[in-house]
Amino acid sequence: MPAELQFSCSDSRPSDPDPSDAERSLSIASWCARRGWPVHPLAPGRKTPAANCGRCRADSHSPDACTCYAVGRWCHGFHAATLDQDRIHHWWGSRPDFGVGVSCGPAGLVVIDIDAHPVDPPARDRILPGIPIAGHVDLTGLANGFHTIGVLAALRGHPSPADDSTTLRVRTPSGGLHVWYRVGDGRSWMSSVGSNPSRALAWQIDVRAVGSYIIAPGTTTKHGTYRPLGDTRVPAPLPLWLAQELQRTGHLPAPHIPAPRPVPPRAQQAIYAAGGGRSRMQKTLALVLAPVAACGQVSEGAGFSDTLNRAAFTLGGLVAAGRLSREQAEEALHETAVASRPGQERRIEQIIRSGFEAGLSKPLHGSGRRV
């Protein structure tokens, strides 16, 4: 078993010899699957899922319509995650350079992903969404997710999850931390990214849950190894106070409310006609990207291809009218789309390219008319 893991669970065997490098990923994947955590391959040395097969890269189809699983391929990222030990041995036995990803939703996991990126903090209302920070409060020294999750925990009278030695914690190569918890009440917690205005726990804190994956402990990328801290290798139950914070910040789907729909074109045009300025441009870009991001909330039935194509077409029109730079628009749309549908990069690139080219021929001016 991997030296990085030093498993101490009751069904592990600490006396086993360390595997060779060629066996390490297979050992990690098998260990995760025995704990009920479905696994899928990651591209060699990277944090992203292994590429789809040629057919899935060329064709536009949803993961639920894919026939590759029946023949043992790993297409569509975390949608292909499995507990089948024979398939795991086939995948990592033939490709020992693959990393290991764990699909959080089927595994019943909520992972608090604490980042430590060296960037300036956002506006005060995005540091702890929903919790006002008065202007007289000195934020000097607040620099990363370890600080924001610590402040949130202190406000609620609890220790920081970063210090929770009762659960599995994994140090990332970039200096961040993954804090693993298990869901015990059957609720389907939703994923989020840092300071996303629509759903966020805290700045530089991502939530990995339904619709996303986490890198398995012991996995090595070109940047380093994801190393567990301490001796605990079992995720503890999600703390009640943290569950309450996740619910407060929109990480549970509201009952009887349909998934967000794309903004109608006329509504978009009315906003575009309202005028320029950098903040207006950012709001416009966020509006166009929102339906694409919303597709990440569900694994199927979201009309992802059509939604992405409409967004690319609209952004192409804005670029043609000189309201956005093409590089900025394409980069933002690509990042949003990949986050919604990991493992479909080639397909996403094709849709964006096609939509942009069509939109570029019909500039979208401030009057709201395409000419």
Question: CA 128, CA 149: separation in Å to the nearest integer?
Answer: 9
Q: Residue 249 corresponds to which amino acid?
A: T
Mean pLDDT of 353-366: 82
Which tens digits make up the pLDDT trace of 307-350?
888 888 889 888 888 887 888 788 888 888 888 777 777 778 88
Domain co-membership, 126 together with 201: yes
Domain co-membership, 212 together with 234: yes
Mean pLDDT of 236-257: 84
Strand-strand pairing, 236-237 and 177-182: parallel
Domain co-membership, 18 together with 96: yes
127 has a pLDDT exceeding 60: yes
Domain co-membership, 286 together with 217: no
Domain co-membership, 228 together with 285: no
Q: Which pLDDT value is given to residue 76?
A: 84
Domain co-membership, 211 together with 102: yes
Task: Name the domain count of the chain.
Answer: 2
Q: Which of 255, 286, 307 is at the close of a domain? A: 255
Q: Is the residue at 371 inside a domain?
A: no
Domain co-membership, 89 together with 211: yes
Domain co-membership, 212 together with 309: no
Domain co-membership, 273 together with 211: no
Mean pLDDT of 275-300: 66
Q: CA distances (Å), 139 to each of 147, 172, 354, 367, in order?
A: 10, 26, 45, 42
Domain co-membership, 160 together with 76: yes
Q: Is the residue at 367 inside a domain?
A: no
Q: Which of 208, 230, 255 is at the close of a domain? A: 255
Which tens digits make up the pLDDT trace of 161-174?
999 999 999 999 99
Closest by Cα among 17, 21, 25 to 218? 25
Q: What one-character DSSP code corresponds to residue 126?
A: G
Domain co-membership, 225 together with 292: no
Least confident span in 143-152, 187-196, 198-207: 187-196
229 has a pLDDT exceeding 80: yes
Domain co-membership, 279 together with 172: no
**Full residue range of the structural domain in which residue 315 is found:** 265-360
Q: Which of 230, 255, 280 is at the close of a domain? A: 255
